[in-house]
Amino acid sequence: MAGKEDKDKEVQKTFNPDERFKYLGFEIHPGKIGNIFKSDSERESWVEKVRQKRQTGVRVREHNTLEEARVTSFERVILTITSVLLIVSLFFPWFSGFREFEVETVAPAAAQPVTGMADSLIAEGMSESTPAASGVAEETAQAAPKKDEAGFTSVMATAKRKEIRKEHESISALGALGVLGSHGGDIFSSGFVLILTAILMLLYILFCVGYAGYALYTLYAVKGNEDVRALQLKKTLRLAWIPILIYVVCIILSIIGAEYSFDTSTAAVKQIGTSYGTGVYLGLLSYGFYTTLACFALNGAKGVEI
């Protein structure tokens, strides 16, 4: 019995109105509040305003967050753009790199007259070559010396140069599906890491199309009041975190790494390297992929906000 009485006293103390006033903003410290209105006429004027407002059917005060739209018109436009961009980005370069190839050029040298030179010295001059420039292999070939009518001897030479040039290559998401179909055997025979990465990237591409259509449907075709549509849109937008999670998982898989089962010397681009790793994964991704990633991030952030 004593315990029950003590409990009742605690409840009464918790709901003491004098103590509760301090949480309503009348006073910082507990105590009795003073007069809110300066005069009775001011009090009557405010009471009359409240009565008139209730007669019109309004039950909440002006400028409150309950009357603010959960999804504004501007936000709907942004969500529409990001959804459409998810589909358009499939035609942008998703993967890019460069390939190296060797080019051989022949540059004829000017004829140089040689006066009074012995044939043995001319032969020695024929065996000399000019040093090649950095990054360029150069070979010099000289023809047999010739004498003109005046008795002057001239030597003609040609210089062959081998240069390593780079050519940029890129492929869209739709093109990557074709590459996966033609070279899928090489990828799926290179171990668990590359197999799982290829499957996840395929799901990522398909998710771009499916999610974009579903988001547009939720924005403009869902029936119901504002709250019902906002809550349905919230569920849809939160799905945008799935492809971002796929991107993170692919990075983790690239950290594990894998060895190729095919000859990388015949690879289309240099970024493939000799083994698969984080540098290869991030080096191959292009702006088309990162455009979709940014769209998913914007939609996911709005889904958390609603």
Q: Are 94 and 286 in contact (CB under 8 A)?
A: yes
Question: For strand 136-142 and strand 157-172, is the pairing parallel, antiparallel, or unpaired?
Answer: antiparallel
284-300 in b/e form (b: 16+ CB < 10 A) is bbbebbebbbebbebbb
Token output for 13: 């103390």
Which of 59-73, 108-122, 215-229, 241-255 ranks highest by mean pLDDT?
A: 241-255
Give which of 259, 269, 276 is closest to 97, Cα–Cα.
269
Q: ∠ at Cα 140 (100, 156), nearest 5°?
A: 135
pLDDT at 134 over 50: no
pLDDT recorded at residue 30: 53
Which residues, listed in sequence order, are joined to residue 160 by a DSSP beta bridge?
106, 139
Query: Is pLDDT larger for residue 124 or for residue 256?
Result: 256
> What mean pLDDT, rounded, does the chain reach?
77
> Whole-model pTM?
0.65
Place of tokens 């030179």: 117
Per-residue pLDDT, 233: 94
Q: Given a cut of 80, is residue 95 above it in pLDDT?
A: yes
Least confident of 31-35, 64-68, 81-85, 209-213: 31-35
173-187, 199-213, 232-246: which has the minimum mean pLDDT? 173-187
Mean pLDDT, range 40-53, rounded to an integer? 86
Between 252 and 6, name the one with better pLDDT.
252
Do residues 102 and 162 lie in contact, with contact meaning Cβ atoms separated by under 8 Å? yes
Which residues have C-beta within 8 Å of that of residue 73, sequence separation ≥ 6? none
> Taking the CB of residue 239, how many other CB atoms lie within 10 A of it?
17
Q: Which residue matches tokens 């009557």?
A: 44
Label residue 275 by pLDDT band (50, 70, 90): confident
pLDDT value of position 244: 96
Measured CA to CA, the distance from residue 216 to residue 79 in angstroms comes to 8
Q: pLDDT value at position 232?
A: 93
pLDDT band at residue 210 under the 50/70/90 scheme: very high
Domain chopping of the chain, boundaries: 73-98+170-305, 100-166
d(CA 133, CA 105) in angstroms, rounded, equals 14
Looking at per-residue pLDDT, the higher value among 286 and 115 belongs to 286
- The dihedrals phi and psi of 102, each to the nearest 5 degrees, come to -100, 135
Neighbours of 52 (CB within 10 A): 10
pLDDT higher than threshold 60 for residue 124? no
Residue-level pLDDT at 271: 78
